[in-house]
Amino acid sequence: MPGIPLAIARTDGQFLLIESTKKKAAFLERAAAELGLENVRVSSERAEDIGHSGRRNSFDVAVARAVGTLDWLAEWCLHW
């Protein structure tokens, strides 16, 4: 959930929150809406799928919570 606090602190940026668990993604969408965070979008896709989609090389920064080992995380974020 690092995206919500970052979106609050950095209203000048756009944030894509990736959460593959639909229930958690719905919570993030609801939280962003209730907080009035117009700079947040939520995706319920898997991170590795987003890296292979049409959104390659379209992000400036990637942050993550405990999702796996650092080598896995680096591989997933490489295409972003």
Domain ranges of the chain: 3-78
pTM greater than the 0.85 cutoff? no
pLDDT, residue 1, reads 61
In angstroms, the CA 57 to CA 16 distance is 14
Instruction: Evaluate whether 39 touches 68 at the Cβ level (below 8 Å).
Output: no
Q: Has residue 24 got a pLDDT over 90?
A: yes
For 30-49, what is each residue's pLDDT tens digit?
A: 999 999 999 999 999 887 77
Q: What is the CATH number of domain 3-78?
A: 3.40.50.150
Residue 78 has pLDDT above 80, yes or no: no
Mean pLDDT over each residue of the chain, to the nearest integer: 83
Quick check: 60 pLDDT over 90? no
SS3 category, 63: coil
Cβ atoms of 4 and 40 closer than 8 Å: yes
